[in-house]
Amino acid sequence: MSLVIPYAREDAGQPPSLYPDYRSTVLRSPRQPLVHIPPTLTEVTGPAGCWDRLMGDALADLTAQHRAPPQGQRIVVSGRVLDETARPVPDTVIEIWQANAAGRYIHSKDDWDAPLDPNFTGAGRVVTDGEGRYRFVTVRPGAYPWGNHHNAWRPAHIHLSLLGPGFATRLVTQLYFPDDPLIEIDPIANAVPMPYRQRLVVRFDIDTTVPNWALGYLFDIVLRGRQATPMEDDHGH
């Protein structure tokens, strides 16, 4: 599993630490070479195999956390976590967070005037099974404006955080939806060059779709190697 460092790795499949079109990277990217600090024992070890006891029950259905269903298009997002040789990675914590169907986050710093949904918190958590599989039920998030440039809108996306066997073995990334025109003009998405950017786009799957209930999408996460899933930016959008 990729080890998250303060700035993204500078290689072909990962977003660079400095991407001027994404304005906050100009202020936050390093001006000096990074200093490697060897991880300590507490960073490379952790409670693998007992996540349920540590974190509580899974929160796999984000549409069933409140008294009524949330607004928006119900969707199922599922897939597998794999290593560089396509072997499944079991017992991996996957956490997600997202905006609601109107493009509004529940946290206090989101002051856009889109409505909050009292029946949607936008956070979930599961642990992959023995075959590396996971499954979330949620609603498709809406696009929202952000202050990067004039008339800037973020495409619909869901953030993902994966925890491996140690606390420092963490991957943070995000997924997008196919045929979203905002992807092509989004500086965060475009910080990941093609064809690697396509690894961040889910695939519609009719077999995952639940009849008369929810659309289904597949999103496999590859932790290492030439097919690795690109990391998310370090700035939280």
The structural domains of the chain, ordered by start, are: 39-104+115-144+152-222 (2.60.130.10)
> pTM for the full model?
0.89
Whether the predicted pLDDT of 84 surpasses 90: no
Identify the bridge partners of residue 75 per DSSP, sorted by sequence position. Answer: 138, 215
Confidence of residue 176 (pLDDT cuts 50, 70, 90): very high
- Output the CA–CA distances (angstroms, integers) from residue 139 to 100, 162, 193, 195, in the order listed: 7, 20, 28, 27
- Can you tell me the distance from the alpha carbon of 174 to that of 77, in angstroms, rounded to the nearest whole number? 12
pLDDT at 1: 46
**Average pLDDT estimate for 121-147:** 96
SS3 of the chain: helix, strand, coil, percent, to 5: 10, 25, 65
Q: Which residues are catalytic?
A: 105, 144, 154, 157, 159
Let me know the angle formed at the C-alpha of 18 by 12 and 19, rounded to the nearest 5 degrees: 80
Residue 21, amino acid: D
Q: Is 129 helix (H, G, I), strand (E, B) or coil?
A: coil
- Can you tell me the distance from the alpha carbon of 8 to that of 23, in angstroms, rounded to the nearest whole number? 15
